[in-house]
Structure 1
Amino acid sequence: MKALLILLFSALTTVAISQVETTSGLFMQMKRLDSILFEEGFNNCNLKDLETVLAEDLEFYHDVGGTQDKKEFLEAMAKNICGNRSVKITRELIEGSLEVFPLKNNDSLYGALVNGAHEFFRKESGGEIEKTGYARFTSYYELLNNVWKLKRVFSFDHKAAE
């Protein structure tokens, strides 16, 4: 019986999918999508580019701000991140924190889970940049008709800057 359990465990761990290499095409694609989401959307307030990566049925889960659909998410970005010209909020991905896990169905790639951590900063007009916080995220991107779309986002573990 013990030998059977060892054999079964070995078989299960052999087929497990692990994080892709940081040099892989999938990792680079997810890093590019993260950049559109945060560098273009969050940092530069280019909401048109941001919208191109969002699925129509986007669900955003935030441990402080609750849940949002695509329309609510874009409205919140426009108002809370991009709406005050005298204060600029930015986000920086913590170097080395990005992880990408492929999702397959019978060897056919259909999605990816992306994990990471980021820091947030605030700069008032004429003031210094100050770190305001930290959070982690997990995103689910789905591949539909050879186009990646951000479908689910979990933003959690928000903490004030130390």
Structure 2
Amino acid sequence: MNLKKITSLALLLSFASITSLSAQIKSTSEVFQILKEKDSILFNVGFNTCSTAAFEEIINEDFEFYHDESGVTTSKSSFITAIRDGLCGNKDAFRSRRELIPESLEVFLLKDNGVVYGAIQKGIHRFFERVPGNKENPGSTAKFTHLWVLVANEWKLKRILSYDHTMGNN
């Protein structure tokens, strides 16, 4: 095969992969709505109210969490313990609250031979912080990517990437 054909094939494959990666599903689709609800359980219930029992149902057993500032958590139990004993350990101390920026949420299906086995959910969220005796203040804004997998027909959160944290006006 000559160089021109190889270059053409490489460009075609690159374009095909870019096109398929941008095939986000509609926000009205059932999967989008299910994963949006799971995001709400993860943050509005689990993170914001410290109801860590909510994590048990939605987090996969081989869970991993990658954070650009606080490092890696390599198990479901370590993640739940870190939230319960850290952020939620003393409700009269520092508190953090997360808000999803709704219009930023995107979902992309993952398929194996046409069968959906997972989804990538990504978006932007902002955090607000409260120190005892003070009002809530804007904290960081960050991007997130969640890998959801279907386990026995249930969506389970397998991986979280939390990155590009920036301080400033939310």
TM-score (norm 2): 0.85
SS of equivalent residue, structure 2 residue 20: coil
SS of equivalent residue, structure 1 residue 134: strand
> How big is each residue's C-alpha offset from its partner over 1:98-125, in whole Å with a ceiling of 9 and x where there is no partner?
1100001111110000111111111234
**C-alpha distance in 1, partners of 2:18/2:106?**
20
Task: Tell me which residue corresponds to 1:104.
Answer: 111
Q: Quick one: which amino acid aligns to residue 20 of structure 2?
A: A
Task: Tell me which residue corresponds to 1:19.
Answer: 24
Structure 1 ranges of 4+ moved more than 4 A: none
Kindly tell me the number of residue pairs found equivalent between the two proteins.
Answer: 160
Task: Map residues 28-67 of structure 1 onto 2, 5 A cutoff.
Answer: 28-67=33-72
Root-mean-square deviation over aligned CA pairs:
2.3
Q: Quick one: which amino acid aligns to residue 73 of structure 1?
A: F
Task: Map residues 120-159 of structure 1 onto 2, 5 A cutoff.
Answer: 120-159=127-166
SS of equivalent residue, structure 2 residue 86: helix
TM-score (norm 1): 0.88
1:85 aligns with 2:91: yes
- TM-superposed CA distance for 1:39, in Å, is 0.6
CA gap 1:14/1:158 in 2 versus in 1, 3 angstroms? closer
Unaligned runs of 5+ in 2: none
Q: Percent identity?
A: 40
From 6, 9, 13, the equivalent of 2:12 is: 9
- TM-superposed CA distance for 1:95, in Å, is 2.5
**C-alpha distance in 2, partners of 1:15/1:160?**
33
> How big is each residue's C-alpha offset from its partner over 1:11-36, in whole Å with a ceiling of 9 and x where there is no partner?
93698251001111111011011001
> How big is each residue's C-alpha offset from its partner over 1:46-69, in whole Å with a ceiling of 9 and x where there is no partner?
111122100111011111111112
SS of equivalent residue, structure 2 residue 102: coil
SS of equivalent residue, structure 1 residue 16: helix
Q: Quick one: which amino acid aligns to residue 160 of structure 1?
A: M
1:71 aligns with 2:56: no
> How big is each residue's C-alpha offset from its partner over 1:81-109, in whole Å with a ceiling of 9 and x where there is no partner?
21121232100001201110000111111
**C-alpha distance in 1, partners of 2:146/2:103?**
17
SS of equivalent residue, structure 1 residue 128: coil
